Amino acid sequence: MIQSKKMMDGKDFTTDPLPTNIVGASETAYYLVKRYRLPLIMLFHVGVFAAVFYASLVVRFESWVPSHAQNHFWLGMPLVVSVQLLVFYVMKNFHGWWRYVTFADLVSVAQSSAIATLVVLAIDYLAIDDFQISRGAVLIDCAFTILTLSALRSVWRFWDERLPVKQRVRRRPALMLGSSPDVAKLAHLVNSRPSLNCRVIGLVSKQKVRSTRFSDISVLGHLGEMSALCKKHGVQTVYVPAGSLEAKAMRDLIDSTREDNVQVNVVPELNRMLEGGTRIPVREVRVEDLLRRAPVELDQIAIRDMVAGKTILVTGAGGSIGSELCRQLIDFGPDRIVMLGRGENRLYQINRELCRDFEGSTEVLPVLANITDRRRVAEVMSTHRPVVVFHAAAHKHVPLTEGNAGEAVINNVLGTKIVADMASEYGVEKFVMVSTDKAVNPTSLMGCTKQIAERYCLALGAQSKTKYVVTRFGNVLGSAGSVVPLFKEQISRGGPITITDPRMTRFFMTIPEAAQLVVQAGSMGRGGEIFVLEMGEPVLIQDLAKDMIRLGGLPANSIDIVYTGIRPGEKLYEELYYGDEQSLPTAHEKILTAFHREFSLQETIESVDELLNLAYGSDAAIRMCLKKLVPEFGAIEADGSAVGSESQSSLHTVVF
């Protein structure tokens, strides 16, 4: 939870951010109440327990309490209240917020009251006669305590959600997409959060259904009537549960409500909301919600066996994929995550994030190192003895590597060779290399160097006890230097958006999906495989640009799109397999595997050594050597696709 600090009367208060409706002198009182909330709540309960116990005594003796019973009350009241206070504290009944009370909280109140009553009766039974308490009053007290506290807590929530008090800010009406009981529960959870300043007044089904009512929330219509429903009920916010709407339907919904200034927001699914405590991470629609395929949730059952209690090394840990790998791996309880990177600031940031947000026994160790430094990599391997290595370090930007051929070769080829060699030498069980679809029929220096790095790892794996596997995927949405941040920047400046060619398509996936594929591949791989996520249909880059304009709340024609021509190393269509790579299904329906062409380790070493000897020479010499090693490198047909793109048709047969 993000926290803020305020200085009040010379004191430092660390609390939740101050609500916007609390200003002026009440600000100090607000922070004082927040800081001393638990003692104040316990003090309030002391008064309630004492008052309820006396009321129980009055009921027990039918309004007239004899003097001996009053004496027993004053003797027994400290005991009853103390026991109740202790039991309620142990059962954590003082720790929740009454405005978020649920049926489970009321059950907990009943349990705590029953336990306290049994304890009091046991003590009373064992105590001397002068200390006896009316057992009938104690039983009545149990029932009255349950009723009183349940009523107080429920009234607080009822006040917060329902009562139309003029002095309070009126919540804006909202609609929620869906017509199932879970969606109705989700709507009630939204209504229980005043911070959202919205109240769901009805549900909207995706298809025409019979009118249904869930408590006080009804299904008002179907998705095709959304615009009319918003106008009829004065709605300015529509909530869409995450993953409930396909990309095309989401785009249509945004288009149909834009003219009415209706904001479409995404809320987590019910189970995630229940895990979220008092805060609901409502967000605006993001570009990944508009992917031309449903996001893939990978089966991670086998991952824990690979990771739990072991030392894991992640290279390129400061990058988009490397840092996400660290976030996902830590959930599976490794003994240690060694985060290797040469970018000091980015490595510091991911280390700080993991240490702040994740609690547990996992040791997080940032290591500044360059993968091209053999002695340093050997030192890291010998010191930490990783069991699994995820190799994500690479130069990945096509235009930059085109102008810096030597650096691309040194980092992507030499760096991979060194890390792979050290993994074999120090007995790493599994080595997972992060590759790219640009390694297939490469037309760029980056893609060509990744192809050679793939070749070396797989050839080495044929001779080593270490299991080497490769993962390939398309472009990653939102990663550093990718097209999404570029388009956002161009839109924020008012345009134009620059696209190299209107026909250009790419496969896209989200950063978490990419990291999941890499981790899943590590758990599934037996060595020698190339794993590929089933990525659906390729996306036209110009459609992606139009989606981002739409998400910015702008008319489609408000931002110009300019076509600049294909850059060196680019091709119109990306591929995930070579034509002669045998693709087969795996145990996971969304992952395919390609068994690579056989490469002799000795020939591969000779080829890599030849290339590395030219790394500090001219770019022309490097390109000639790459062309020799990867014949398809650099050849582009008249339509902009790579030579060898006949494998594109076979790819469609296998993948789609």
Give yes or no: residues 4 and 127 share one domain. Answer: no
User: Are residues 625 and 519 part of one domain?
Assistant: yes
The verdict on residue 635 lying in a domain is yes
The tens digit of pLDDT for each residue in 246-264 reads 777 887 888 787 777 788 8
Task: State whether 214 and 322 are in the same domain.
Answer: no
At 69 the pLDDT is 67
201, 238 Cβ separation under 8 angstroms: no
CB-CB contact of 337 with 365 (8 Å): yes
Contact 557, 569 (CB under 8 A): no
Q: Cα 321 to chain center, whole Å?
A: 14
Tell me: do 257 and 329 sit in the same domain: no
Residue 400 lies in a domain: yes
2-11, 32-41, 610-619: least confidently modelled range? 2-11
pLDDT at position 366: 95
Q: What whole-number distance in Å separates Cα of residue 268 and Cα of residue 273?
A: 6
Q: What is the pLDDT, as a whole number, of residue 348?
A: 93
42 contacts 85 by C-beta, under 8 angstroms? yes
| pLDDT score, position 205 | 86
* Lowest-confidence segment of 128-132, 358-362, 370-374 by average pLDDT: 128-132
Decide: helix, strand or coil at residue 495: coil
Note the pLDDT of residue 338.
Answer: 96
Q: Is residue 559 part of a domain?
A: no
Q: Can you tell me the distance from the alpha carbon of 415 to that of 374, in angstroms, rounded to the nearest whole number?
A: 8
Whether 295 is in a domain gets the answer no
For residues 195 and 343, membership in a common domain is answered with no
257 or 324: which leads in pLDDT: 324
Nearest to 641 by CA among 573, 564, 566: 573
Q: Give pLDDT, residue 74.
A: 76
**133 with 229, same domain?**
no
Do 218 and 338 belong together in one domain? no
Please tell me whether residues 339 and 451 are part of one structural domain.
yes
- Summarize the confidence of residues 286-296 as an average pLDDT: 57
- The CATH number of whichever domain residue 256 belongs to comes to 3.40.50.720
Tell me: the pLDDT tens digits for 108-124? 788 888 888 888 888 77
* Domain assignment present for 40: yes
541 within some domain: no
Whether 488 is a known active-site residue: answer no
Q: What does the pLDDT read at residue 360?
A: 74
Asked whether 525 and 390 are in contact (CB, 8 A), the reply is no
Cβ-defined contacts of 604-608 (< 8 Å, 24+): 604/455, 604/456, 604/459, 604/460, 605/456, 607/452, 608/413, 608/417, 608/452, 608/456
pLDDT-based confidence at residue 18 (cuts at 50, 70, 90)? very low
Model confidence over 458-499: pLDDT tens digits?
A: 999 999 999 999 988 777 665 655 677 788 788 777 778 888
**491 is a domain residue:** no
What domain range is 207 assigned to?
172-285
Which of 438, 450, 467, 571 is catalytic? The answer is 438
Q: Are residues 462 and 592 in the same domain?
A: yes
| pTM to 2 decimal places | 0.59
Considering the domain architecture, whether residues 461 and 436 belong to the same structural domain is answered as: yes
Per-residue pLDDT reduced to its tens digit, 617-634: 888 899 999 988 988 786
Q: Which of 341, 344, 293, 335 is nearest to 321 (CA)?
A: 341
- Supply the mean pLDDT for the chain: 76
Q: What is the pLDDT of residues 392-403, one digit of tens each?
A: 999 988 888 888
Distances in Å between the Cα of 397 and the Cα atoms of 344, 394, 451 are: 20, 9, 15
For the chain, percent of residues with pLDDT exceeding 90: 21
Q: Which pLDDT value is given to residue 407?
A: 94
**Residues 531 and 593 sit within 8 Å (Cβ to Cβ):** yes
Asked if 44 and 180 sit in the same domain, the reply is no
> Is the pLDDT score of 598 beyond 50?
yes
Let me know if residue 268 belongs to a domain: yes
**Number of domains forming the structure of the chain:** 4
**134 contacts 72 by C-beta, under 8 angstroms:** yes
pLDDT at site 489:
80
- Grade residue 14 by pLDDT with cuts at 50, 70 and 90: very low
Report CA-CA distances (Å) from 252 to 173, 264, 294: 22, 11, 16
Query: Residue 571: what pLDDT?
Result: 63
If asked whether residues 274 and 307 sit together in one domain, one would say: no
In angstroms, the Cα distances linking 294 to 249, 537, 554, 602 are: 12, 11, 25, 43
